[in-house]
Amino acid sequence: MPADIGSTAPEFTLPNQDRQPITLSHELAKGPVVLAFVPAAFSSVCETELCTFRDSLTQLSSAKARVLGISVDTFFALKAWNDQQKFGFPLLSDFNKEVIAAYGVVNPDMVGLKGIAKRSVFVISPDGIIRHREVLDDARKEPDYAKVTETLATL
């Protein structure tokens, strides 16, 4: 069952690019969370998306929002990617694919890559409720950043 608007966001703890555990409920205690699921590190649209979030951090921070990037890549790959792009927010490794399953964003086959994340964005309010959900079936498309900002403005 996918995580839908109005439902409680599935809890998780995943390692970030520095192998430090990040727990959703701990992040929500600091304010709203934007979860950005991306198919693969170092791919062009994923990089564009996360750079857009990076470049919007000042605006997102004014809403006290925290961005968490999630992919099934290893934390080694995520560290190299972050070192290159200086995203400024945690990149989480869902290598075991449990969180993408819990959020209902598994792409069974993207050009031969099996069981990676669909490009998806969730906005979760501090009370743990999903307020925005966008799951893209076309990995070449970017999310609607304006909807993310609009949702955060209502929290």
101-112 residue pLDDT tens: 999 999 988 777
pTM of the model: 0.90
Q: For residue 29, how many other CB atoms are within 10 A of its CB?
A: 9
Domain spans, the chain:
16-153
Query: Which pLDDT score is estimated for 140?
Result: 76
**33, 46, 68, 100: which is the annotated catalytic residue?**
46
Topology of domain 16-153 in CATH is Glutaredoxin (3.40.30)
pLDDT per residue as tens digits for the range 4-61? 999 999 999 999 999 999 999 999 999 999 999 988 877 766 577 776 777 775 677 6
pLDDT at position 106: 93
pLDDT band at 138 (very low <50, low <70, confident <90, very high): confident
Active site residue 46: yes
Residues 6+ apart with CB under 8 A from 33: 24, 27, 65, 66, 67, 68, 123, 124
